[in-house]
A and B are shown apart, each in its own frame.
Chain A
Amino acid sequence: MNNLSSYLWQILELILAVAAAPLLTGWVNQCRAWLQNKTAPSVFLPHRTLHKLFHKDSVVAENASPLFRMEPYIVFGCMALACGIIPTLSTDLPLSPAADAIALVGLFALGRMFISLAAVDIGTGFGTMGGRREMFIGFIAEPALLMVLFSSSLISKSTLLTSIVANLTSQDLIIHPSMAFAAVAFVMVLLAENARIPVDNPATHLELTMIHEALLLEYSGRSLALMEWAASIKLLAYFCIGIALFLPWGISSVNTPFALLLSLLILTVKLVVVGALLAVLEIVSAKFRIFRVPEFLATAFLIAVIGMLVHFLLGA
């Protein structure tokens, strides 16, 4: 199984995921613009923005520590590794045993910790506020996300994402009631972790309620580009986790060019549909006050717990 070709496919899948991630962000933005009756930007707009930012000079605050300069690369690396662990196209991933679902959550936490530390580093009011809020949302979202992963790992008796997917796809089409609860909780966590409405508004800037934007305020040029790119990859990674857990059908179990191509096609369709749904969800909801967010996430946690109890009660 662990022969050279599967390593090559793994690298290829990783590069594809990283390169295509901004497209997903572009697609969600496009859908949102359509729903708001605006002229929609191209799906390639995020790519163009990245290109533009990479060519600009970087301005760094005088009192920035080396941590601040290193941080975009670390966060980018974390998100890229996450894409390598999550089964996007096939479940035959040599990298998968390196980290299971719990380590994946740890990886996201590592990225979040560095983002927050870098935001605190410059010592401006907005930056520290952003860092504090990011960690504060993170510490409630993380248990909820793990409860979702636990529900699915209880069904497949494994915490490895590839095993979970392999197990779920090999079964007949059974609807696990516990997974329905887990899916609702997961969507709520996804909204919070990726700075979407109702928790944060990715389209605004200079608002007292901002979280994600406040973290990036002091970055410019290539550092900003890397951070924005990492955010896109994170959105893709979350989508892929969701697809792997709740809509795993179509993920190939072997690494042959044809199977992977088919799997890529299916994944694209899924992402297009789910991305459009995310846009609808964002359009129909309004942003919360910051102190309603813990309630929102606590609800997600409780729903995930209920899902787990349902699993025990019904044995399914």
Chain B
Amino acid sequence: MTDLVSLDYILLAVSGWLIIGACGLFAIKRRGGISYVLYPTGAAIGIALCGLGIYSALGGTQTCILSIGLPDLQFHLRLDSLSSYFLFVLGMVSTGVSLYSIGYFRKEEETPLGLICLEYHVCLASMAMILISDDAYVFMVAWETMSLTATFLVMANHSDPEVRYAGFLYFLISHIGALALLLCFGLLQANTGNYTFANMREQHLDLLWASITFFLAFFGFGAKAGILPLHIWLPEAHPAAPSPISALMSAFVLKTGVYGFLRITFDLLQIQVWWWGVIALTVGLITALFGVVLSATQTDMKRLLAYSSIENIGLMFTGIGLTIIFHAYDMNGMAALSLTATLYHVASHAAFKSLLFLGTGAVLHATGERNLGKLGGLMRFMPWTAWAALIGVLAAAGLPPLGGFVSEWLLIQSFLLTPGLPNSVLNMLIPIVAGVIVLVGAIAAYVMVKFFGVIFLGQPREQKLNQAHDANIWERFGFGWLVAACLMLGFFPVQLTLVIDRVTSFLVGEGIGTTVASNGLLLLAPVASHRASYMPLVFVGVLLACCLLAYVLVRRFYHGRLRQSIPWACGYPFQTSKMQDTAEGLGQPIRHIFGNFFRITRELPSEFDKNPRYRISVEDPFWSMLYRPIAVITEYASRAVGMLQHGRISIYLLYSLATLMLLLLVVT
């Protein structure tokens, strides 16, 4: 081939990852080779993919057919702006995580390092394949490969029964989801027998079948993304996996669900109905509120982040729901705005959440603790990790001038523009949804104060924390890359919006790019500059100028000395580290206000206890409301079926005879 197009380069990147994985298998015990050759090469491919994603999002659509696979089922591949954008996010995240993995996978996990290297790179490659697949066959193969490798990665430390249990749960739920996806693709091809996406785009399903397809996709992709009530695998799988893997899963494996949902709803399905959007919006909003409230009560740092991921996925589905509503009413400009907010949040969540998970990895290696009750004061011993995590925390709290704020700002703007909808009930209710989104964002800030405060600030709650060591140099490179991503996403929203503009033009037929570009490259004004605008660079510039000016003036005019002393604490001299707020204490106001959201079991000591102990456990209510009943029913049903089985061949022959007789009776 003479001129290589972007799609070829992306296939090259995918095969590069696969080759790296295979090399990992050959060098299974050679730590140096894996660390210093394979992961850095993987990171380089990630950087390349990041650039290629941006480049091809601005270019046109490319397709190709690979004649591998089964004889009649060739691989149809297609690169359009939607897949390019997600490839960009994948490249961004994988670079950070790969860089960090160089330093992280040093000592032997229970799975050999080479095997982890293989699973990790195959997982990356399969995710890239999901994004460029153009028929249901490739899509499902890549999808299942991703689920499998992710399951293996979660179970890296498989001697722990909890880890095996988490892996099983993840595997189970992703397969229930995959079943729904198979059915969904079956409906989309509308009896033509042709499973290419090109064929699916030409089918016009009627309202009933289109609705069934939509909800199958919502269920199937929601299971992967962690929509209520299919979220329960997340808080189990994230703590079980090694931290770079949790980072990758939270940052991108969840996003494949968002990608698939967007692909089917806006690309493959030819109609959108407003009440689909209402349902997606409601479920997304409940997921967001539920996720953030539960994350405020967690005491395990990775579970806390897992629930926070559920919250962010909920926000994305809220945005998609609003987009569907706008699109169904042919208000494409506003649909473009809310879709832009959603896609922006995909990128910013990927950046800050992987950063925070990598931070927990460094803490875990330094202290061996995931329990927030046994951490504290680590900012003094691990400054690099702490400052990187601080950036992540500020972005996760949705505060200006970082990436999380831009997406939240855009989302709120699109909610404020709803009063143009022809449906008056929606008109009234939807701005209130904006209020709930702000509530979710504000509680997220609370959660992040808890996360950062308990781990990095305060006094060390255990003696051994004084020996904590900071992240090593490669881990710091990983932090650095993702911190840079968080800052760039916050400072240059106009540039990214111009890229997203191509995606929204493809999906909903319009983009906000021209409006945004007309105001120059500093001012983000999604509708018109007199209606709403935000200039992050000016904002942060003036903010820093004010802070610096205050600093310089105070230092110039007042020469007061600085004296160090023990903490004052209102003059009470017997302060110990146990008197600080615990993670439970920081969760207490939330438990008090949102008591109905969880199942709380509390054990209070009686007055006469020799050894008084206070115990409180907060449980996800979906276990008792949904999953345990299902488990009980399944067990009951299988026991009922089991009564048929006696293990004697004569009885089985009798069953066959009875079945035959019955069938003959039916036939005659």
Could you list which residues of chain A lie within 8 angstroms of chain B, going by C-beta atoms?
54-63, 65, 67, 73-74, 76-78, 80-81, 84, 95, 97-100, 102-103, 105-107, 109-110, 112-113, 116-117, 120-129, 131-133, 135-136, 138-140, 142-143, 146-147, 150, 153-154, 157-160, 163, 206, 217-218, 221-222, 226, 291, 294, 301, 304-305, 308-309, 312-313
Contacts and interface: CB of A to CB of B under 8 A. Distances in A.
Given A120-B457, A159-B532, A160-B532, A217 B445 contact: no
A77 B544 contact: yes
B561 A58 contact: yes
A81 B434 contact: no
Nearest to A129: B581
A205 to B, nearest CB: 9
B642 interface: no
Report whether over half of chain B's contact residues are helix, strand or loop; otherwise say mixed. Answer: helix
A55 B458 contact: no
Contacts of A62: 564-567
Contact of B530 (A95, A128, A160): A160
B438 A103 contact: no
A160 B586 CA distance: 35
Contacts of B565: 59-62
Contact of A103 (B380, B400, B435): B400
B428 to A, nearest CB: 5
A146 B446 CA distance: 17
A123 B457 contact: yes
Nearest to B398: A106
B17 to A, nearest CB: 38
B544 to A, nearest CB: 7
12 contacts: A54-B560, A58-B562, A62-B564, A97-B535, A102-B409, A103-B539, A110-B400, A116-B453, A123-B377, A125-B569, A132-B581, A135-B445
B663 interface: no
A139 B439 contact: yes
Interface stretch (B98-106, B275-283, B546-554, B654-662): B546-554
Interface string B417-436: 00100001001100110111
Contacts of B567: 61-63, 122-124, 218
A238 B21 CA distance: 58
B571 to A, nearest CB: 9
Contact of A206 (B457, B532, B545, B570): B570
A256 to B, nearest CB: 22
Interface residues of B, number: 86
Nearest to B547: A77
Q: Please give me the 7 A-B residue pairs with the lowest Cβ-Cβ distance, nearest first.
A: A123-B458, A77-B547, A139-B442, A123-B459, A77-B546, A120-B453, A128-B581
B115 to A, nearest CB: 40
B399 interface: yes
Contact of A222 (B449, B525, B560): B560
B240 to A, nearest CB: 29
Interface of B: 376-377, 379-380, 386, 390, 394, 397-400, 405, 409, 412-413, 416, 419, 424, 427-428, 431-432, 434-436, 438-439, 441-443, 445-446, 448-449, 452-454, 456-459, 523, 525, 529-535, 538-539, 542-548, 550-551, 554, 557-558, 560-570, 575, 577, 579-581, 585-586, 589-590, 592-593
A10 to B, nearest CB: 10
Contact of A124 (B399, B412, B435, B569): B569
Contacts, number: 258
Given A106-B399, A113-B394, A113-B449, A84 B561 contact: no
B546 A76 contact: yes
Contacts of A301: 435
B435 A95 contact: no
B557 to A, nearest CB: 8
Contacts of A74: 547
Contact of B405 (A55, A67, A106, A226): A106
A132 to B, nearest CB: 6
A19 to B, nearest CB: 12
A244 to B, nearest CB: 16
Contacts of B585: 128, 132
B539 A110 contact: no
B487 to A, nearest CB: 15
Contact of B412 (A54, A102, A109, A117): A102
A299 B431 CA distance: 18
Contacts of A146: 412, 434-435, 438
B408 to A, nearest CB: 8
B435 A147 contact: yes
Given A99-B539, A150-B416, A73 B550 contact: yes
A106 B400 contact: yes
Given A65-B380, A120-B458, A128-B581, A73 B390 contact: no
Contact of B533 (A78, A100, A123, A309): A100
A95 B537 CA distance: 12
B432 A117 contact: no
A138 to B, nearest CB: 6
B323 to A, nearest CB: 20
Most buried by B among A116, A126, A128, A163: A128
Nearest to B559: A55
A133 B546 CA distance: 27
A103 B524 CA distance: 12
A73 B525 CA distance: 30
Given A99-B535, A135-B445, A309-B428, A61 B568 contact: yes
Nearest to B536: A98
Nearest to B448: A113
A143 B442 contact: yes
B561 A131 contact: no
Contacts of B538: 95, 98
